[in-house]
Structure formats: C-alpha cells, structure tokens
Amino acid sequence: MPGQAQPSIARFAWLSIVTAIATITLKSVAYLLTGSVGLLSDAVESVVNLVAATVTLWMLCLAARPPDENHAYGHSKAEYFASALEGALILLAAIAIGWTAATRLRVPRPIEQPGLGLAVSTTASLLNLGVARILLRAAKRHDSIALEADARHLFTDVWTSAGVLAGIGVVALTGWQRLDPIVALLVAANIVWTGVQLIRRSMLGLLDSALPPSDQQALQEVLARHAGPATQFHAVRTRQAGSRRFVSLHVLVPGDWSVRRGHELAEGLEHEIRAAIPNVTVFTHLEALETPTSWQDQELDRPAPVEAPPRQGSVPARADGE
C-alpha cells in the first residue's frame, strides 16, 4: 500500500476489516436460517462495511505519506476520498436492498427459525456496536475523518440491525409476513440518508471548508490579545484538509518597525495559534499600516494594477507619443 499509516491509526482500520468479515459471516448465517429479507439487507450493508474499511486503511496509508515535490501540502485530503467512496457504496447497497424488499413485498415468504436467527444477528450487532465506539474514540483522538466515517457507518449498521430484529420479532408474534420487507425498505431509506450525509461532508472537505467554530473562536482569541492601534489583522483565512488545518493572515504593523521586530511579532503569533489549534500550519504576511496597497489585498484575488509603475531610471512615455 502507498505510504505507511501511523500504527496507532492503521490498527483501528484493521480492526474494522476483521469485524466486517465476522459480521458478514454471522448475518449471512442468520439470513440462511430465517430467510428474512431484512437480515439479508443487513448482511449486504456489512459487505459495504468491509469494502469501506479496506478503502479507509488504504487512504489512511496514503494520507500519512510526507509532502513531496508534487504535493507540497501533504496528502491528508486522501481521507475524504475514503468517506466519499463509502457514501457511494452505501447508496448502491440501498438500491440493492430496496429492489429485493420490493420483490419480497409482492411475494411474501415465511420466516423460519426466528429465534436462532435473532440470536446470531444480535451477536453481530453487539460486535459492531463495540467496534464503532472504539473507532469513534480513536477518530476524535487522532482527528481522522476517515475513521469517524467508518465509526458512524457502523453505528448506523447497529441501528439498522435493531430495526430488522424488531421487525422479525413482530413477524414471529403476529404472522404478518409483509412486515419483514417493509422493515427492509425502511432500512434502505436510512442507509440512503447516511450515504448522502457522508458524500456531502466529503465534498465540503474537498472544497476547503473553513475550520469548525471552536477552532475559529480559538484563533480570534489569540488575535484579540495582540490587536491594537499599532497591530491589526486582515485577510484571515482558514481551511481543513483531513486532520491537517491551515491558517493564513496578514499582519499590519507601523512602517517604521524594524524587520526583526515585525518578524518576532509574527513568530509569536504563529506559536500561539499552533498552541491553541491542534495540527495547524500557519502562514503570516507582514505589511505596513500606512501603505495604501496593504489595504487592497484583503480578497482572495487581488486585482492587477491598471498601469505598472516605471522602473527606476526609466523615462515614462507621454500619452501623445512625443
């Protein structure tokens, strides 16, 4: 695999892969025992979990690669591809589940051995629940969107399984066979919602969304401690790429300050921002308060001058050509 993910992160992806294989086996056995299309839909989603966990491991390895000549800012955005692909696979699984459930809704089929099937599927759900909690804690600790997406998907799988199991229980008690495919259709709808949310979040990440409000507040608190008549800030921009955060800003100081004094201020600011926001890269640009052009570059695209200033020693051409 490209790159080498940090062992403390990669082991969680491997845990998710092993868990997915185990739950696929258990839920497939439960489906074969009962013939429940709801349990079949649950097993199909676990296949998606396996594919997603494998892609997550691959993307974590890629994201861990150091910056190179063609990727000077690193490869941390690779995690968004893992969550986006996971969302797409979820949508495909939902289509397959919906198709199977619609067929079974037209031609109901009795559920066999519901007690044994429920026991096997419950074991798989509890296994998913435990791993999902582990992955979510690891995602927060390592600030990994790929692990978080995997954990959220597993939590969705747990709730899906709970709905399926409840449906089978009601069918066993009432004998209403059509309830099983109805529950499967509800499962498909829930899966669609999860897939759309994952894709949306991944797209926002690839579009360089700003840092979350908590980080924005921490940044503003640092700048407020230094703002005053002699020091001002503008063009403050933030973005996040996977676990990596980026902050850039212009620092305006009196023009008669020495280079050393301005540099020390910028260095101090960068140090405080790095202490307040984890895993952040800070870019500062020093400008003079009194210079008009210092106030003309606050937007992302700075307009080009209408006429370039003449070079030193040159004679400007007259408008009439003389």
What single string gives the DSSP state of each residue in 241-260?
ETTEEEEEEEEEE-TTS-HH
- DSSP at 320: T
Of the candidates 84, 80, 78, 70, the residue with the CA atom closest to the CA atom of residue 5: 78
pLDDT at 5: 47
Quote the CA–CA distance of 59 and 12 in Å, as a whole number: 13
Nearest-10 crossing angle of helices 37-63, 7-34: 170
> How is the beta sheet containing 232-241 ordered, strand by strand?
232-241, 244-253, 280-288
- DSSP at 262: H
Lowest-confidence segment of 89-93, 143-147, 310-314 by average pLDDT: 310-314
pLDDT > 50? residue 4: no
Of the candidates 296, 308, 318, the residue with the CA atom closest to the CA atom of residue 252: 296
Buried b (16+ CB within 10 A) or exposed e, 76-103: bbbbbbbbbbbbbbbbebbebbbebbee
Higher pLDDT, 295 or 287: 287
Mean pLDDT along residues 193-205: 77
Mean pLDDT along residues 47-70: 78
CA pseudo-torsion sign 154, 155, 158, 159: negative
**All domains in the chain, ordered by first residue:** 7-206 (1.20.1510.10), 213-295 (3.30.70.1350)
Higher pLDDT, 174 or 259: 259
Mean pLDDT along residues 165-192: 70
pLDDT, one tens digit per residue, over 80-105 is 777 777 778 777 777 776 776 676 66
Higher pLDDT, 130 or 177: 130
Quote the CA–CA distance of 243 and 139 in Å, as a whole number: 10
CB 265 within 8 A of CB 302: no
Phi then psi dihedrals of residue 300, to 5 deg: -65, -40
